[in-house]
Amino acid sequence: MPLLVKLHAKDNVAIAVAPISAGTEVMDGIVASHDIPQAHKIALTDIPAGGEIIRYGVVLGYAIDPIQKGDWINETMLVLPTPPSVDNMEYGKNIVTDLPKAPVTTFEGYRNPNGGYAGTRNLLGISTTVQCVTGVLNVAVKRMREELLPKYPNVDGIVPINHAYGCGVAINAPEAKVPIRTLRNLTKHPNFGGQLMVVGLGCEKLTVDKLLDEADINPENVIILQEQAGFDAMIQALMDMADKKLQILNKRRRETLPLSDLCIGMQCGGSDAFSGVTANPSAGYAADMLVQAGATVMFSEVTEVRDGVHMIAERCVSKEVCDKLAAEMRWYDNYLLAGQVDRSANPTPGNKKGGLSNIVEKAMGSIAKSGTSPIVEVLSPAERPSKKGLIYAATPASDIVCGPCQLASGITLQVFMTGRGTPYGLAAAPVIKVCSRNEMKAMWQDLIDINAGPIATGEATIADIGTELFYKIINVASGREKSFAEKYELYNDLCIFNPAPIT
């Protein structure tokens, strides 16, 4: 097993495959001068104060003090570089069309009655206009699952879209369009089979007309709790409507569909320094296979691409796509500035413990999950796509906010890469977990679906794990398998991105 992983010829650091004891000769002429934790960096050359620290062939930062060959390099030892400008970025310079060929080009999915992406699950989604209805709805959903769902074996489950938006909000603020767009798009998620069910209170600012088209606002689809004569009447109305919707959903059947009907999301969280070596590149390989077969793949997380935005721009197929990318980066720069922070606020204590020194290093690894395909479209948070292929969907990097944004954009399955581990999951779409280290899989053998760790130890290639992941995606999307997060129903609360004021 190799002791170190060096990714690029220009790199003057490498990361430890396993913990290294001080005094160990890690390469010819290089002896570790400190104990070096797994995934952390060791200096391969002497680096002067102010000198560049390079990994991925990219300057991660500048040394605060002189660093000697063999020294441990951690987050306290370097200064963050200036982010790349988003003005006048070059596009179309790195358009790769020779993608790995997908071994299959179909999956078993649910045709979408509204057109567009197919469903991977058959769910009753119940949308809400305001948090105030959550208590009543949760009681009703418990009864629905116990009393109604057993009658409809072809329905996979019931998903309440509970959220913290809807009242006490500046509903007409310019950025209120983000949470409104999110919730509106969720009502017609492909996994909900075209059945609309909306629960409102009656006095909230997020009125039903902001979620539904006028033609869909009727007693068949909408229940207003303030119009019901007490708790029992509320529960009965919800049960009656759900029963009618479930009868219709129960008639749905999977069909063999082309992968062009599939839309998946790529996300990473609890990342470490191996994420960009093993898990994310494997996901990128699978993404390239999916795109080659006609599928749509979304990747996201603005702060985790910001330092590599020029690399993404080079893969944009047109000036229009590149300009939208630049606009989303500028918007987020200003959003962070208004909060008196910048992208350096992103790395977590766990990221740093896992060897990631700063956001530049994290971003270089994060981008790897996008593969090499051309970027055909850039979306604002929770926006629906108009193209098929690889799409950059601008979202916050927070796992539990990015997920709902991607759901609103239409993903019906998510692939989630992690180095430190997280039991994260989504109720509205299955989530496949890919870990970056063998140790993570050994620790969480019943939570991690795919282990990319063998890449670091030389026992597998990126293509090997990427192909394994591709087949896992097809099998989970087709309902032949469940991911661990879905099996255990590890569903996070739905956190809607709201950059608008709360009144």
What is this structure's pTM? 0.96
- DSSP lists the bridge partners of residue 161 as 127
Return the exposure string of 29-54: e unless at least 16 CB atoms fall within 10 Å of the residue's CB, then b.
Answer: ebebbbebbbbbbbbbeebeeebbbb
Residue 398 Cα distances to 302, 346, 347, 401, angstroms: 10, 9, 11, 5
Q: 397-442, pLDDT tens digit by residue?
A: 999 999 999 999 999 999 999 999 999 999 999 999 999 999 999 9
Query: 136: which 2 tokens?
Result: 């009543």
Query: 432: which 2 tokens?
Result: 């496949």
Q: 232-252, pLDDT tens digit by residue?
A: 999 999 999 999 999 999 999
**Does position 365 have pLDDT exceeding 90, yes or no?**
yes
Return the exposure string of 389-408: e unless at least 16 CB atoms fall within 10 Å of the residue's CB, then b.
Answer: bbbbbbbbbebebbbbbbbb
Q: How far apart are CA 43 and CA 49, in angstroms?
A: 13
Share of the chain above pLDDT 70, in %: 100
Q: 48-104, pLDDT tens digit by residue?
A: 999 999 999 999 999 999 999 999 999 999 999 999 999 999 999 999 999 999 999
> How confident is the model over 284-292, as a mean pLDDT?
98
SS3 306: helix
CB-based burial of residue 369 (10 Å sphere; 0-12 exposed, 13-18 middle, 19+ buried)? buried
Query: 290: which 2 tokens?
Result: 């999916």
Cα dihedral sign, 449-269-496-376: negative
Residue 168 binned pLDDT confidence (cut-offs 50, 70, 90): very high
